[in-house]
Structure formats: C-alpha cells, structure tokens
Structure 1
C-alpha cells in the first residue's frame, strides 16, 4: 500500500477505511429508524423527520432510508404516508440549500426544515379529511415537537462531531444530549414484556448513572429529560415526568453515600410520585421497571460510568484558578523572552548572510574580462604584463558608474583607451553587467528589508505576549459565580456565549470579557444589556466595547468609572472633495480608558484617505482586541510598508484617558501638537516624531498629563495649524459652551478662513470634554 509522504495529500475517511465509513452509515440508518419509531400522544411520530432535518449531511441518505423504513414498519402511527412525505420534503430542503453555508449553519435552519414539512403534510390531511379543530391543534403540536427536537438533534450532532470530552460540556449542551438520547430510548418503549418497557428500563439506568457521577445536577437533568420524553408517549403515563425528575434529584442527593443509597432514594421517590396515578396497572408496571432497572444497575461494573465523571460538575476552585493564572503568566512571559531571542538570532544570521552574499561591483569587471578580454589577442599584454594598469582602469570606473549609471569611451584613461582593440565591446559589456548588478542589488536590499521586517514581527509578537502577561498580572481573582450570572443574562438576550470571564484586579475593579459567536441578526441593546449585567453583579458597569474577528465577537466591559467623555469631531476635505485624507476614531477600550485616534495620510485625496483609514482602522481594531499600543503600532507600520510597492506614509495621534483617575497618555508618530485646557488655561503638548510606513523601527513618542472635570482635550491634524496655534489656544480658553462638537466646527471654520497662502489641506479637529458620571 502506498503512503503519502507529504502533507499536501489528504484522503477521506472512506478512502482510508471503508469499513468504518460503512459502519458510520449503518449507525445513521439505525438511529434514524429508532427515532421514527418513537410515538408521542399515542399515534404521532415526528422524530424521524427531525432526524432527517438535523443529522449530518454526510449521512443524509442513510438517515432518509432509516426513517422511511421505520415509518413503513407496522406501528400505531397515524397516516404513515404523511411522515414519509415529510421525510422526503425535509431531505429535498437540505439537498437544495446545502451550498448556502451561512444559512445551513444557522440555529433555526434544522428546526425550520423539520417543522415546515410536518406542518404542511399534516394540514393537507386536515383539508382532505375535514378534521376537527382538536386534530388541527394536535398536528400543530406535532410539527412544533419536530422542530424542537431537530434543534436538539443538531446541537447533539455537532457535539459528537467536535470530539469534545464530556467534562467540557455546559448545562445547555448536556440538556440537548439528554433529550436526544431520551427520544432514541422512547422508540424502545413499545418493546414490552408484559407491563415492563425496555425503553423505560434503560432510561432509569441512565438516570441512576447520571445521578451517581453528576450528583444533584446530573440526576435532575437526566430525570427531567427522560420524564418529559416518556410522559408524552401515551396517555396514562403522565406521572413519569414527576417520578423520574424527583427520583433523579434524590438519587443525586444521596449519591455521595454510595450506589445502594442512591438506588433506594430513587425507588422511594419514584413510588411517592406514583401515588397520584389512579391506574393501578400502570403503577405496578412502573414499579417492576424500577426494580429491574435498579438490579441491572447494581450488577453493572462501576467503571462503565467513568466517562460521565466531570460532565455535570464545574467546581469553583479559587486556589486552582489562581495557580492556573500564575502558570499562564509564566508561560506567556517565557514565550515572550524566547521569541525575543529568536528575533536576535534571525537578525544576526541575516546580517552575516547579507555580508557574505551581497553583490559586489568587482563582479561587473570580472564578467567583462571573462566575456571580452579572455578571447582577445592582446590578453597577455593587458593582463599579464600590465595587470595593475588595466585593473586600475576598470576600478576608476566605479564612481562614474554610480553617478551616471553608465560609461562611455571618455571615462577610460587615455592609455587604456588607446591600446584596447575591443573598447566598444568592453563598454557594452560593462554597461550591461552594471545594469544587472543594480537590479540584483535592489532585489537583495528589498530581501534584506523583508528579513528585517520578519525579525521585527518576532519582536512585536514578543511584546504582545509581554503585554498580555502584564495584564493578567493585574488580575487578582476570577469570579466564577458572576460569570455564570452574566452568561444567563446573555442567553436571555438571545446571545449564545462561548466563554465568559469576570475578573477583579487589586483595586477590586471588575472587568468582564465575553466571547460569543458573531452577532448576526441579533439586535443588541447595549444600554439594557449593561443595566442587566450591573444588576446581577451588584456593580455599575459602562457599556461594552465590541470587536469582531473571524466569526467571533468579543465584548469587553468594565465598571463604570469616575469620569465620562463627551466628544465632537469636525472635518474639512481638500478642495471640498467627498474623500478626506484624515481618519479618526474614539471609543472605550472596555478597561476603563477612552481612546482617541487621528491618522493623517500623507498628501490629499484618495491615496491619502486609504493610508489614513487603513492606519486608523487597523490600530483601532487591535486596541479593541486588547493588544498593547506599542505592539499595535508596529503591526500597523508593517501593514503600510507591505501594502504596495509605493511609499505609504501616515501619522498617528493617539490619546488614552483613564476614566477612573483622569490620567492621560499621549502617543504620537509624526503627529502635530495637541492642546489641553486645564483649569481654564490652554497647554500645548508637542512630541516630535516620525510618521509610520518609512522605517522598520518605529516607536511612539510619549508624554503624560492628567485631566479633571470640565477639562478639554483637542487633537488636530496638521491642516488646522497652517496659521499657527496661538489663535487655537485662545479659542479653546475662551470657549464656554457645553457641546464639544460646536468647538470642533468653530476651529475648522477659523482654520479655513485664516489660511492666507492660497493652499488647501485636509483638516480634522477632535474635541473631548471630561465630565463626571452621575
């Protein structure tokens, strides 16, 4: 058998192991057949259609065949052709829409693909037979059950396909899996020996195992799920919903005492719940089932249930979380240092290679000598008797080539020009070889620049890891109870959280980080969500900072700080064009800081607008994602340098205001002055620096200050400063309005009117006023 030796060839599972592929299809067929045999309300069987709508598409035809076979087998199901038609319709829907990836991955797709066929075929029977309203209601209930179970089947199928261990499942995922298993067991409820049902015996065994290894949570979830499913099967068994739920909970309560205590607790609880049933035969049958199931459970080895360990338990172990935090910090810090050393090694080797392999202009002359002089009859005279003179004649050409880029006859000394019989050929050869030399030198210089950029990326990554380690170091404790409450709030708002982290720092300030799936189609009311999170956590939070990357959404929320910011921005485009070369943004980073950014693309018009928007947009996204300012700047700088072969330059003016204490940090890269108004006096902040997109090595020039209530911060692009800054300081000091937008517009208007050099430029003015939170 041939084996692939590279990672570029892949084979499907079927190609590698046909037996496993066939077995997988048989499993789909069997499970679908069982689902189609499960009855609710005595004569309705919607679960086979739900299986067709929800099971993985790779087994769709096996599922269709299994469900169809189940409906064709004799049963108490009413009008089997109704279900067969619904199966085919559900399969047609999935086959038709399978290429629409975003649609088929939507959580509503599987329920809709099950509900619509069951509902439509049911209504067709109603119209043909003229059924009563009660029958219409039952068909509607059947369709709703099909849609609901399709959702549970779809969630369970994804869990199985993900390969996750049971200990990583959350409560919702466990409930979906329990209900799915319950439906499969429901199909076995009709396999009876006297009053004893095989399906219900297996359900009791499953409840006891869940209670043994999952405690109260496991027993309750399994009991409720089994009770709901089996209580819907036929009339006269409604007591099972209470009996199984109560029995599962009590079995979980006594599970720490031992298996026998757990079994006894289940038996008595089930018996108490059964007393409400008037049908003595049903009660006796149920007691027989409990007795058989408990004996079977006691005879099974304990290790059979070992995979369930950790499925329902998520302990709040503070000491363990603190140890984990320290471990993560140490690993991040060590990884940062390792990447820094890799960068140094790459740079050192790169320099050595460049020194050893860089093109040499002497190669131009050697190539000419080999091509022209070696076949000349005067070779002995020029290169044996007068080697030094001939070599000096070539060496004297170097400066002339660098200045003019080529040579002619007059550039050789008179002696060489007089004696050389092949001077025209020498001239052509030198000029041709020098052009090749320049091309290779330019390519090597560009390659060296790329190598330097790669080396810088190691340093940037190292800095990012150090920033993350420093951020984690500030957090003293993780609040798991608060995280659970926040998760419930999100689910109530229609948002499915992937992960929620609530952390408090050494100053007892809580910050919340939430990762969810992309919020497509979800109308997020930030104010209501923030108010509800504040209520359940008993703290006051500010609205979240939201960023989206590759299908995942990150919400960063911090406690409400002492201050808040009111901002206003005004712009003027060069020549009153629609496109402005300046870009700006202001946002809360979710950690209690208000960030303001202005980026000025060099020049005017579309090219400047692209550079400015690119610099501002990437920087904003990185900061929102929690990456440090210095690392973000290096990433933006690299992006501008590799954007195209042409030079791309932009300035960055960034201000970060800590809303808890008023500390203000300025970070400038080629940006002009900024102006503060503190206690009514204007202060100019200047920090000369280079713009980004020029050099590999780029850093912010930083300064710091502080603001209090009613102080102002004014960020400007250089277009506003053509007539100086004195008048701007005066305008800022005299302004006594309440809306920063008005001051921004006033400065832009005055900047245009005061310019007297006959030129125009893009102008951006961003004004922020500090206010106290009420």
Structure 2
C-alpha cells in the first residue's frame, strides 16, 4: 500500500509543483509589468534622477547638471518635462534656498529663450545645447551683477566654465535620457551611448554626496555597485572605463574622494578579468581592489570603512537578479550575449528572407502550373471544334436565308457537313481544281454551291490568320510557363543556400591551428565557413612573409593533407607593412581543369564572321563550350549567332538548367522576327568534378572526342534554332577522362574539304593522325588542313574549338600531418 501511495503521490506532487511554479511566474510577470509601468510610464525614474541631479554639485558651487537634464527631457519626452522640472527644483531646494533660486532662475531664462528660439529655422536638437549655454551664462552673469559688487575676470571664467559644462552635458544627456525614459530597447547600445549613460549615472551619484549612515557614504557604495555591474556585464575594458569616469566625476564634486577614482578603476579592471567566476569572481575583484587601495591610507579606521562600503556594494550586487544583468549585457556591444543576440537577429532575418524567397518560388511555380493546367503548355488544339466554328461562320453567310436550309441541315446534316469540310480541306491544300467530282457532287447537293465555295475561300484566309495568331499566343504562353518554372527552381535553390547556416567548427579550427603551429607557422586568426567536400572555405590572418609565398607553399599543402582534398589559395591580401597580417582565403580546387584553343576565319578572309564561340566558366563547377553559326554570312549572321550565345551565357549564369535555357532561346528567336533567320548551337557542358559532359546540339555538326588513338563521334539530331516553335532538346552524355581532347567545329570546317564524299570519316582520320595534344595547335592544324583542300580559299565561315581535360594538379605537394588528419575531418 505504501508503494502504491508513493506512485500516486509522485505525479500529484509534481502537478502541484508545476501549478505553483506557473503561478509564481505569472505573479512575477505581473509585478514586472507594474514596476515598468510605474518607472517608465508614470515617470518615477525621471523623478528620482531629476531630484538627485538637482542636488548635484561640482566643487561645492557649480551646478551644471540640472538645466541640461531638464532641456533633454523637454526635447525628448515633453509630457514628462514638468515632472522633471519639479523634481530638479525639489532637489535644489533640499540643498539650500540659494541653490534652489539659482536653478529656478536658470529654468525660467531657458524657457524664455527656448520659446523665442522657435523662430530660428534650425534643427531643435542642434540648437538646444546653445540655448542651454546662453541661458546658464546669462543667469549666472545676472546673479553676479545683482549680488556682487563687481564682476572680475575670474568670475567670467567661472561662469564660462559652468556654461560650457552645461553645453557638453546637454549633448550627453540627449543620448542618455532616452535610455532611461523608454521601457524597451530592441537595438544594442552604441559605444557613445554607453559612455553617456555612465556619465549620467555618475552625475546622479553626485547628488547623494552627504548621505552618510553609520559612517558609510552612499555615493561610495553606489559607485562601486555601478562598477561591479558593468565589469560583470562588459568585461575589464568597460569596467575600468566606468571606474575612471565615475571616480573622476565624484572627485570633481568632492576633492577628498580623489583616491576613489583609482580604487574604482582598479576594481573595475579586476572584476572584469574575474567575471568568468560569475558574481563571486567579480565581487572578489572589488574586494581585492578595495584592500590594495585601502592600504595606502595609514588609518585603520579608513581601511575598515572602505572595506565595509565595498561589502555592502557586493551584497547589493549579489541580490541583483541575474536576468536583469543578462538583459543589460544584450545591450552592451562586445559582450557574448550581445553577439548571440545579433546572431539571433541575423538568423531571423535570414530565415525571413529565405521564407520570402521560397514564397516567391512557389508563386512562380503556381503560375507555371496554371499555364500548364489551362492547356497553354502541351495541350493539342481541338481541330474538330475549330472546323465547326469555321463552317458555322460560312453557313451564316450562305445557308441562313436559303429555302433549302431545313432540308440540308435538318434532314441531311451529315452529308452537308462532310461536303463543306472536304471542300475546305481541298481549298486549304490548293487541290480543289484537281477534284472536279467533289465540285459536281456539291452542285447537285447545294443550289448555292459556287457562293459557298467563294465564301469558304474568303473565310479561309481569316481562319489561317487566326490560327497563326493562336499559335503565337500558345507559344508565348509556353515560353512564359518554362521561364517561370526555371525562375522558380533558381529561387528555390537560392532559398536553400540562404538557409544553410554556418556550421560550428570551433573544434576543427583549434585542431588546424594546432597542426600549423606545431609546424612552426604563426596563425593569428582562422575562420572556417565550410568543410564540405569540394566546397571547402577557410580564411586565415597570417603574419607578413615578405613575399616568400608561405601560404601557397606551406599552409595550403598542409591543409590539403589535413582535409584530404586539394586546397589552394583563392585570394590573398598582403599586409601593407612588415608587422601587419595578410588575409588569405583557401578553397577546394576542381578535380579537372580545361585548356582550350580556338581557330576561326570569316568567309573570303573577311573581318566579320557569321560564327561565334564562347567559353563560360559557371559557378556550379561547370565549364561550357559553345559555337553558334548564324544563317548565311556577314553582319546579320554574326549578329544572330552572337545574340544567341549572349542569351545563353546570361541564362546559364543564373543557374537555369541548360535544356530549359536552350528552349527559351529558341522560342525567343522564333518569335522575335518574321524573317527566316536561323542559327545553330553546339553546346558542351563539362562537369569539372567528375568529367561528365552533356552535349546539346541544335542543328550543329558532330563533335569528336580523341582518346589516345581512338576518336569518338558525338552527334544529335535537332533542327536549327528559330525554325520551329516547339521542339525537344536531345541531350547526349559522354564520360570523358583526363588527357581527352574535345573537338567542336562549325559546318564550314566539317563540310569544308573539297572532293570528300564522307566528311565524318575524313575528319576522324585527320584527328587520329594528329601528333600533338596542344589544343591551340590542334585547332590551327585542322583549320589549315581544311583550307589546304580548298586551295587556300575560304568559302564559308569556319570555327574550331578544342578543349583538353586535365587533372588539376597543384604546384606544391601536400605536407603530411598524420597526427591531425583524422581529427579535422
């Protein structure tokens, strides 16, 4: 029974605990919202800051804080300006009636000048510091004239210093007041905003000078508490900066606190260095700093007082909720929390962008599908229905008012319909005169046969024009469907690339750095963006090597051995001075490289050839070779062929598949002009990773692959581009090997030899007899051999493109690092 009770009591207790935890979280959230509402919406924080700044003094006489704070609140949060003004006056009058009167007069003069400054067409925030400067200067000058026997140069300097400080503090408070007057801030703080906030908080602390309890000063406790927070949140740099700024402002207010600056700066530095020890580590830094600085004072009482003040600051720091410190660290630049926040924001932007690109991709795909489903892509025309519409228009003009209409179309519908259809087809084929039997039968059947035949001939002209227009519309929509489909694929691939997040490769970075340093190479910094096979991307910052090429000769070979694939230097930015660092990018090399050679000649030895060629290296690790032959010769043929290759290059570089690209180009060429201007296209797409080649031949001559003594012919049957609107592209794939030669040529070369019956056998024999493997020499020799058979005459445009496939062998051998090879992989 006891065991059963425990089994039932466990879930019940856990449920009660969960309900209690949820209730506590709800109460905490509600309390936080109410606290934020009181502090920010009601302006309690501005009230407290204004009261303390109204009490703040420098050298026991100068009051430069009150008026700048009021001016900043008036400019940024005007609805709380009255509350801030009352708080400032309350703080000033709490010191003395004289201080309260000075602050009241300065506020009154400022409001008058601010009212009249509205007539000056300058940005209000830019003219505000000058208004504060003039107000403070005039107020102090008037008080000196009224209550002193005369104004000396020292008095003028005193007034100018106070007005100048007010001018500077106004610009500082304009940046820091928004930080304490709004509930939430989504962006991280700028460096100048952090410094402005520190100055504001240090200025507020000067308002607590004179607050002493049991011999402990409030400004010392609060200043050390502030240094602890920033040292723990931001590290030693910001911690020491906060200590210096806070101690400097406190020493201005009270000269006896000058040693406080060194204590706070040293404690901020130690606390930041020990922040890895969490709160206790930062607190230990303050205590150690207090003890070391306190030893300079000879009195034991001063040391104990100093230590007690630090302990109270540590107690306040330990009681500060951790989530508040984390939220603050997200706003301070340079912290790990801020960097994580920025990365999360970048990741969110990346995901939103990728999702938006995917949505566009889906939209384009849906549009393409809608064209396909509506019958504009591959649907055959319903010829019977179109013939029915045609014959209906004919009967409206001939049979509608005929007295035999009922007999022909009601009693003999099938016979009448077949006669009209046969006559239409005969007229369409221009063979009606060769079929007198059909004409005689039509005369016997119809009393208006001649009129019917004339109307059919007349309407058939419009019918053909309408059919041609429909065909062009059909083709245009097919182009749109294919282009939308291609764009959809490209955008979808782009969205996937955006989503590919940089992997966390810290372990591999450390291993590579360790391997390189064990070899004696000094590496300042390394960033690994990808270790994907065939797509390695590594960046390094290395010391300047005085032009010895250490990155190419040592680091790249070592990375080759560590990562197990060939790595080369992609880009190198050398240091500008000997002590600097070079920025080097390393990446994977392709398995194969292509050497090319070209030979071309225009008809009759002219300058303008109707042939065009192009060699395109694509980002997808492919290499494209293309030859286009425009119909005929001269400028028009050159324009057609070059335009075809230009369109091909632009479309392929977007990432659209080559078959879709060629179909799109064909459709564009067929619709662009009514002239019979056609062009051929011979395209070879070489994959530089596996040496597979896709051949797309549109009306072009065969290509040849030379592998040793063997010659392989590559051929496909497609009409030239622009002749027909719809055609399927035949893709021929061949697996090439290293040292293979690919020879592509235009018809001027393939069909150029004179007195040759079999051009293919002749070309195979000439290619097989070649004794060189240099691409340029092969292109020149083939061109020369063809021209020699014509006795030196060039009777057509001629182009030969030769490519040699080779293994990509780096200039430097890999350097073995067996201890780290498997780890990095």
Determine if the alignment matches structure 1 residue 763 to structure 2 residue 789.
no
8 Å contact kept, 2:535–2:587: yes
Tell me: CA distance 1:475–1:767, structure 2 relative to 1, closer, same or farther (3 Å).
farther
**Can you list the C-alpha shifts for 1:344-403, whole angstroms capped at 9, x where unaligned?**
994596689766798511211212223443234554565456655544442222212422
8 Å contact kept, 2:568–2:810: no
| Shift, 1:718, TM fit | 3.8
8 Å contact kept, 2:648–2:662: yes
Partner residue, 2:456: 430
**Can you list the C-alpha shifts for 1:478-531, whole angstroms capped at 9, x where unaligned?**
746678999xxxxxxxxxxxx9841333xxx552399xxxxxxxxxx9x99988
SS in 2 for 1:641: helix
Alignment partners' CA distance in 2, 1:273 and 1:751: 96
Tell me: CA distance 1:672–1:532, structure 2 relative to 1, closer, same or farther (3 Å).
farther
Alignment partners' CA distance in 2, 1:358 and 1:655: 44
8 Å contact kept, 1:676–1:684: yes
SS in 2 for 1:609: helix
Alignment partners' CA distance in 2, 1:542 and 1:468: 26
SS in 1 for 2:133: coil
Tell me: CA distance 1:635–1:192, structure 2 relative to 1, closer, same or farther (3 Å).
same
Partner residue, 1:295: 316
1:707 to 738, 741, 744: 738
Determine if the alignment matches structure 1 residue 744 to structure 2 residue 796.
no
Alignment partners' CA distance in 1, 2:625 and 2:185: 42
Alignment partners' CA distance in 2, 1:389 and 1:609: 57
Determine if the alignment matches structure 1 residue 66 to structure 2 residue 125.
yes
Tell me: CA distance 1:478–1:384, structure 2 relative to 1, closer, same or farther (3 Å).
same
**Can you list the C-alpha shifts for 1:129-155, whole angstroms capped at 9, x where unaligned?**
xxxxxxxxxxxxx9xxx9xx9xxx9xx
Partner residue, 1:399: 425
Partner residue, 2:647: 614
Tell me: CA distance 1:580–1:409, structure 2 relative to 1, closer, same or farther (3 Å).
closer
Tell me: CA distance 1:574–1:657, structure 2 relative to 1, closer, same or farther (3 Å).
farther
**Can you list the C-alpha shifts for 1:537-580, whole angstroms capped at 9, x where unaligned?**
666524659xxxxxxxxx99742467654433343345533466
SS in 2 for 1:577: coil
Partner residue, 1:541: 567
SS in 1 for 2:625: strand
8 Å contact kept, 1:719–1:761: yes
1:716 to 725, 736, 745: 745
Matches within 5 A, 1:363-374: 363-374=389-400
8 Å contact kept, 2:610–2:629: no
Determine if the alignment matches structure 1 residue 261 to structure 2 residue 280.
yes
Q: How many residues get paired?
A: 551
| Shift, 1:420, TM fit | 6.4
Determine if the alignment matches structure 1 residue 312 to structure 2 residue 339.
yes
Tell me: CA distance 1:348–1:387, structure 2 relative to 1, closer, same or farther (3 Å).
closer
| Shift, 1:702, TM fit | 0.5
Tell me: CA distance 1:302–1:469, structure 2 relative to 1, closer, same or farther (3 Å).
closer
SS in 2 for 1:741: helix
Computing the radius of gyration over CA atoms, which structure comes out larger, 1 or 2?
Answer: 2
8 Å contact kept, 2:602–2:798: yes
Alignment partners' CA distance in 2, 1:77 and 1:746: 93
Which of structures 1 and 2 has the larger relative contact order (alpha carbons within 8 angstroms, sep 6+)?
2
Determine if the alignment matches structure 1 residue 651 to structure 2 residue 681.
yes
After superposition, the CA RMSD in angstroms is: 6.6
| Shift, 1:704, TM fit | 0.9
Determine if the alignment matches structure 1 residue 567 to structure 2 residue 596.
yes
Partner residue, 2:614: 584
8 Å contact kept, 2:597–2:776: yes
8 Å contact kept, 2:694–2:733: yes
1:413 to 427, 439, 442: 439
Matches within 5 A, 1:451-490: 452-453=478-479, 479=505
Determine if the alignment matches structure 1 residue 598 to structure 2 residue 650.
no
Determine if the alignment matches structure 1 residue 181 to structure 2 residue 218.
no
1:250 to 270, 274, 285: 274
Tell me: CA distance 1:74–1:716, structure 2 relative to 1, closer, same or farther (3 Å).
same
SS in 2 for 1:638: helix
TM-score by length of 1: 0.53
Matches within 5 A, 1:2-13: none
SS in 2 for 1:254: helix
Alignment partners' CA distance in 2, 1:75 and 1:535: 70
| Shift, 1:610, TM fit | 0.5
Tell me: CA distance 1:406–1:292, structure 2 relative to 1, closer, same or farther (3 Å).
farther
Determine if the alignment matches structure 1 residue 512 to structure 2 residue 531.
no
Tell me: CA distance 1:192–1:745, structure 2 relative to 1, closer, same or farther (3 Å).
farther
Alignment partners' CA distance in 2, 1:295 and 1:357: 91
Greater CA drift, 307-316 or 718-727? 307-316
Tell me: CA distance 1:761–1:348, structure 2 relative to 1, closer, same or farther (3 Å).
same
Tell me: CA distance 1:304–1:449, structure 2 relative to 1, closer, same or farther (3 Å).
farther
Tell me: CA distance 1:227–1:464, structure 2 relative to 1, closer, same or farther (3 Å).
farther
TM-score by length of 2: 0.50
Matches within 5 A, 1:147-162: none
| Shift, 1:301, TM fit | 7.0
Partner residue, 1:325: none
Alignment partners' CA distance in 2, 1:678 and 1:298: 81
Tell me: CA distance 1:202–1:272, structure 2 relative to 1, closer, same or farther (3 Å).
closer
Partner residue, 2:178: none
